[in-house]
Amino acid sequence: MRFIAVGDVMVDVVCDRMPEPGARVHGRASVRAGGSAANAALAASADKKANGCVLGRVGDDPAGDLVVATLEARGVAAQLARDAELPTGVTISLGDAVVADRGANAAFSPSDVPTRLQADALLVSGFALLQDGSRDAAQAALDRFEGAWSAVDLASPKLAAGAELDVGATVVLATAAEAKALTGLDPEPAARELAMVFAVACVKLGADGAIAVRGNDFERARAVPVARTSPFGAGDVFAAVFLLRLAGGDGLRTALEHACAAGARAAGSG
């Protein structure tokens, strides 16, 4: 099964502690390939039945080299344009606080997207679709996709508010806050309203699991408890696994259960 993720590709710098203003603390830090699209493609490639591919843009710099090497070493086909002027995007996590510089992601353009995208599933990040600069490239990916299952995973409540989502995708995924910002409704009625636009609507509820609507079918799955949580990647992993399961023929509840389990593993390993 071929899976394509489209959107932001970053270098993640993750620190386990947030100092008080003006203070210096000792902690642990790690540097790794990240960003919504990269995280999703990595999750797909972890499935023995799937081949993950990522489309995006990184800088022509050592950070971009690190991202490409990491993705390819883990089985992801990294179809990434290299930007000669803008650097690779960087996300810095200090505990629960996050600072992001999109860098070359903001210059992701339709020319970076193949004229035909043939795959079983396509996942487009809301960070790419709902922001200036990369919006046209993300929409081009949806327009050029030749397959049955395409999805948009919303990026943040701020970006989701007032967003136009009649973009040709079959699935939409949102957190409760994103769904609220988009529809003004609580999770279940929000999912039902979104399911009038998309074939499948899924709302991620964090520690309360997730819900999804497909036609008249409403399903809920419980979250899997984890010892600790990381702010990076769990939602991206959830989205990738949910979409892959649907594309593979699983029912809504089974897809939700597998996605919740995968998201929990990602949160607990960060």
Domain of residue 221, CATH code: 3.40.1190.20
Q: What is the average pLDDT across 248-268?
A: 92
In the chain, pLDDT over 70 holds for what percent of residues? 97
Query: Is the separation of the CB atoms in 83 and 72 below 8 Å?
Result: no
- The answer to whether residue 133 sits within a structural domain is yes
- The answer to whether residue 130 sits within a structural domain is yes
State which of 6-15, 43-52, 118-127, 226-235 shows the largest mean pLDDT: 118-127
Domain residues for the domain of 80 are: 2-17+28-269
Residue 115 has a CB neighbour count (10 Å cut-off) of: 7
Instruction: Give the model's confidence band at 269: pLDDT under 50 very low, under 70 low, under 90 confident, else very high.
Output: low
Query: Is the separation of the CB atoms in 209 and 221 below 8 Å?
Result: yes
Residue 55 has a CB neighbour count (10 Å cut-off) of: 28
Q: What is the average pLDDT across 192-219?
A: 96
Helix ranges, the chain (H): 36-45, 62-73, 126-129, 135-144, 157-160, 176-183, 187-194, 234-247, 252-269
Q: What is the dihedral of CA 42, 47, 49, 52, to 10 degrees?
A: 0
**Is the pTM higher than 0.85?**
yes
pLDDT at 231 over 60: no
Strands 117-118 and 89-94: unpaired
- The answer to whether residue 164 sits within a structural domain is yes
What number of residues does the chain have?
Answer: 270
- The answer to whether residue 86 sits within a structural domain is yes
- The answer to whether residue 22 sits within a structural domain is no
CA distances from 101 to 59, 67, 92 (A): 12, 15, 9
Helix, strand or coil for residue 218? strand
- The answer to whether residue 190 sits within a structural domain is yes
- Provide the number of structural domains found in the chain: 1
